[in-house]
Amino acid sequence: MEYRDRVLRCQECGSEFVFTAGEQLFYADKGFKNEPKRCKSCKAKRSQLTGAPGYGRTVTTTVCSQCGKETTVPFKLTQGRPVYCRECFQQRRASASPA
């Protein structure tokens, strides 16, 4: 199928934007059925409000269970489970993987 640039209207601000042939190919490769509804600037504003790309991603500051260093993790903590800083986590993963 041959793709051609198409002009769409942003549902947020009403301005016109181009849905390029390359973007259409990308959407088709990913199996996306719907075309974009927002222009790039409205999409960027929306992602700032929602914290995208992770939409509402939680970041928690805690102390590493192994070395005691303060660290951040991208999830909410659950009681009773150890939390490791990046270095300790990678060290534990390396020692647990078979050689």
Residue type for position 96: A
pLDDT score, position 60: 85
My answer on whether 43 and 74 are in the same domain is: no
Cβ–Cβ contacts within 10 Å for residue 19, how many?
16
pLDDT score, position 45: 85
Asked if the structure places residue 12 within a domain, the reply is yes
pLDDT tens digits, the chain, 99 residues: what are they? 789 999 999 999 999 999 999 999 999 999 999 999 999 999 888 877 665 555 556 788 999 999 999 998 888 888 888 999 989 999 998 888 765
pLDDT score, position 51: 55
Report the C-alpha gap between 58 and 92 in whole angstroms: 24
Asked if the structure places residue 44 within a domain, the reply is yes
pLDDT score, position 53: 55
Phi, psi dihedral angles at 72 (to 5 degrees): -115, 145
Domain interval for residue 29: 6-50
pLDDT score, position 47: 76
pLDDT score, position 23: 93
Asked if the structure places residue 55 within a domain, the reply is no
Asked if the structure places residue 45 within a domain, the reply is yes
How many domains is the chain built from? 2
Cβ–Cβ contacts within 10 Å for residue 64, how many?
18
Asked if the structure places residue 87 within a domain, the reply is yes
Asked if the structure places residue 24 within a domain, the reply is yes
My answer on whether 46 and 15 are in the same domain is: yes
Residue type for position 94: A
Asked if the structure places residue 74 within a domain, the reply is yes
Asked if the structure places residue 40 within a domain, the reply is yes
